[in-house]
Structure 1
Amino acid sequence: MAIPINSNYNIEEICSTFGIEREDFLRLISGKQEEPSNLKTIIEVIDEFMGTVKKSNKSATTISYYASFLSQFKSFLNEVDPSIDLLGLTEVLFNEFILEKCISRDGGSLSRGSINTYQSIIRELLFFSLIMKYINIDLRPRFEKLTTDILPRYIPDDVASNIIIKSHHTSRPHLNNTIIIFLLGTGCRLSEVTKLRINQFDVLNNLIFIKKSKGYKDRYIPMYPEVKNIVLSYLQRTGIKEWNRNNEKSLFTKGFGEDRPPLSNKYIQRTVKSILKEIQMDQRFSVHSFRHTFAVNCLKIGMRIDILAQVMGHKSIETTRVYTKLLPHDLKNDVMEKFPFPFEKLMQKLIPNGGATNGETN
């Protein structure tokens, strides 16, 4: 028998007290949530948020601090993917920004206190977005106060091998498999991969030339045999029968032959996220995790940290030193005993069947 409920609550009074719309309150008590129709990019909201900060009663020094941090964050987002929306503002993305872009005044990594201050600004940004109804859920719990240092997340060998295997079963198996192996074997940033030209993949000298982008220097990355063979196989399948140092067409593309429009950052992000989601690792890793993985693997095989800093394109060697914290002392000793250990042996371990793939031509 149903029990009758007599409610004395005045819905209008509750809505007035808490400053919410009647429809929003009814959705809340019914457990229903409506997707925001005006979901904005992080960059768009940063600009709006700074407008309110400048009009607030914060001190001039504080406003300047906010502006400096958010300007750096915007620059990072423009390089990674300017179209990332508010729901894409995750702990992983924030940590990548901290590890890649932020250094202290003495050239070292940021203190835990500075990172927590940055996180408090991000929480304010998310609260502003909630008030403005750009999001309908409170994302601030994603950015809790740090109690330990931020360390880069690198992909273990067994997970990396699984990712490579899964790439064979995507809609464009050869293209996606080649990209995954290229990311693992070069440590390139996402924007560097999509901008890469055929003539920068120098098969004669076994070097990959990375042209400077905003804030970075030109650099060369060693071309390991497994990466070289798989990329050359991909080029042949996409209509490039021989490498030519004068060919300035895009290295990676959905096109064929000389019709080679560059891939978008979003394409690679979606492809990687889809694979990671399939193996239930999408909340732990991202495209940038492949870069961290390359760095850790280079340390495992005994690469000198100053050389690794140059290969990675780090402005400060202190940024590179962060990776050494991921290696336990016994592993460090083991690394040095085996030095020099060919990187290609590690790649052979990761790539099943030499990276051979079946399926579409691109």
Structure 2
Amino acid sequence: MNFTYFQYKQINKNKQGSVLIMPIEFPTSPMQNLRLNIQQLVATYGIDGLQEILGEFGLGVDPTKTPNNIEDISGEAVEEYFLKCPRFISLSPDTRTTYKSELTQFFKFSKPTPTSTATLRQLAEPKNIVEYLNKYEPRSNTRAKKASFLRTFFRTTLKHFFNEKIEEIKPLLELKTDESDIPKALKVDQLREVVHLAAAKGNGFRNFTIIMTFLSSAIRLNELLQLKFGDIDSERQIIQVVAKGRKGAKRPRTINLLGLSILKNYIKFTYQSQIHTFTEEQLDQLHVFSTDGGRSAMSPRSVQYIVKNLINMATSIPKKMKDQYSVHTFRHCYAVYGLESGIDIYTLSKLLGHESIETTTIYLKLFDDQLKRAVENHPFANGLNKGDSNESFA
């Protein structure tokens, strides 16, 4: 530091009795003024005295106790922090429930012994993470969900306890993508069989209505389950849904007339007793898809099981392809066949409820692949044949 004018003050005497002095700069800026004040405090009270005073105000820093020097944290402490941290609390109720379950499963797998809980360092061991994720198919939805949870969990806890990023283990938690990861849509004949099977089995009207609501509005599973009577606006052809990432806020989604008609008929048939005895306000609060008369919604697992069972029963879907389809497949079908019918990407993005059109463009790749296959079936794909001869004009 360059000084224009110095004043010297005695700080202490060293072992040889020599006076130790330090320069004090006359301030020419706020930062220099701060330095001057600190230098004067050190000159008056010494380093130890200053640290003691700062410590009384909770401002002291003990270098032996900085986050980077903490050796490890118990699993119990990690779990307690994660379930109360702002990141976890900011998640939607359903995501919090899912993450609690994922946390329990991961901790159970990672136990070093049957009676002990893994520490944070043990949980973050690359070997532990790889072995846990390797229990699931590389590109399965289950593995993707678990990797997503672990990214959130480690990004939050390692930052809090050790002030570390997840760079070292991040590659282990990334999803490997290739052409097979493009959203899958059922063919029309496969879709038709699934819908017919839904109507023919037990609770057929309910299951048929669930699938037709997906196909008529492209809403997500969570959005469907939280749908209540009061969310249906027949005149505007709209259903209000609790949109993804909106923390309870509802957004309007358009439903086609066929789907709206099926939905209204299902409500009239299923809730005849309530319609005749409940007030309008009470009816508005009933869940459309419920197993207890509308008081609460069906569980996500119930709908997932219904759809997976229908896919497994469908003979038009090859056995090796069945694992690629899920509840979300109906949303993919809505998008792909919407593009095929001529709906532009901007309109489709709004119908799907996407925040950004970039999210919708992933379906363009799947649609492009369909177009490539379709164009090869065009009569001109093999040239123009003359009569019965093989002569062609390409």
| TM-score normalized by the length of structure 1 | 0.53
Q: 1:196 aligns with which of 223, 227, 234?
A: 227
Identity within the alignment, %: 21
Is the 8 Å Cα contact of residues 253 and 353 (structure 2) preserved in structure 1? Answer: no
Corresponding residue for residue 173 of structure 2? 121
Sort the Cα spacing of 1:296 and 1:219 in 2 relative to 1 into closer, same or farther, 3 A.
farther
Q: 2:340 aligns with which of 300, 307, 320?
A: 300
Distance 1:315 1:284 in 2: 26
Q: 1:251 aligns with which of 285, 288, 296?
A: 288
Q: 2:300 aligns with which of 260, 265, 274?
A: 265
Q: Secondary structure at the match of 1:263?
A: coil
Q: Secondary structure at the match of 1:249?
A: coil
Sort the Cα spacing of 1:57 and 1:181 in 2 relative to 1 into closer, same or farther, 3 A.
closer
Q: CA deviation at 1:96?
A: 8.1
Distance 1:151 1:330 in 2: 12
Question: Rg larger in 1 or in 2?
Answer: 2
Q: CA deviation at 1:185?
A: 1.5
Q: 1:319 aligns with which of 338, 359, 363?
A: 359
Distance 2:123 2:222 in 1: 39
Distance 2:303 2:352 in 1: 20
Q: 2:208 aligns with which of 177, 182, 192?
A: 177
Q: Counterpart of 1:268 in structure 2: which amino acid?
A: V
Is the 8 Å Cα contact of residues 287 and 295 (structure 2) preserved in structure 1? Answer: yes
Q: CA deviation at 1:263?
A: 1.2
Sort the Cα spacing of 1:42 and 1:161 in 2 relative to 1 into closer, same or farther, 3 A.
same
Deviates more, 1:297-306 or 1:187-196: 297-306
Distance 1:57 1:236 in 2: 52
For each residue in 1:67-117, what CA deviation from the matched residue of structure 2 results, as whole angstroms up to 9, or x when unmatched? Answer: xxx9xx9xxxxxxxxxxxx77997144568999xx9xxxxxxxxxxxxxx9
Sort the Cα spacing of 1:182 and 1:271 in 2 relative to 1 into closer, same or farther, 3 A.
same
Q: CA deviation at 1:329?
A: 7.6
Corresponding residue for residue 106 of structure 2? 46
Q: Structure 1 residue 158 and structure 2 residue 224: aligned?
A: no
Corresponding residue for residue 323 of structure 2? 283
Corresponding residue for residue 234 of structure 1? 266
Q: Secondary structure at the match of 1:55?
A: helix
Q: Counterpart of 1:274 in structure 2: which amino acid?
A: N
Q: CA deviation at 1:313?
A: 2.5
Distance 2:146 2:119 in 1: 22
Indicate the structure whose relative CO is greater, using CA pairs within 8 Å and at least 6 residues apart: 1
Sort the Cα spacing of 1:89 and 1:52 in 2 relative to 1 into closer, same or farther, 3 A.
farther
Sort the Cα spacing of 1:149 and 1:238 in 2 relative to 1 into closer, same or farther, 3 A.
closer
Poorly superposed stretches of 4+, deviation over 3 Å: 40-43, 46-54, 56-59, 86-90, 92-99, 117-122, 145-149, 212-218, 240-246, 329-332
Distance 1:43 1:225 in 2: 43
Greater percentage in strand: 2
Q: CA deviation at 1:183?
A: 1.2
Q: CA deviation at 1:56?
A: 5.0
Q: 1:225 aligns with which of 257, 277, 297?
A: 257
Is the 8 Å Cα contact of residues 184 and 293 (structure 1) preserved in structure 2? Answer: yes
Distance 1:319 1:181 in 2: 24
> Which segments of 5 or more consecutive residues in structure 1 lack a partner in the other structure?
1-39, 74-85, 103-116, 123-142, 335-362
Structure-to-structure mapping, 1:203-218, within 5 angstroms: 203-215=234-246, 218=250
For each residue in 1:118-172, what CA deviation from the matched residue of structure 2 results, as whole angstroms up to 9, or x when unmatched? Answer: 78338xxxxxxxxxxxxxxxxxxxx8x5453621111211111000100122210
Corresponding residue for residue 21 of structure 2? none
Distance 1:306 1:52 in 2: 49
Q: Secondary structure at the match of 2:361?
A: helix
Corresponding residue for residue 55 of structure 1? 121
Is the 8 Å Cα contact of residues 218 and 331 (structure 2) preserved in structure 1? Answer: yes
> Which segments of 5 or more consecutive residues in structure 2 lack a partner in the other structure?
1-99, 111-116, 152-168, 375-394
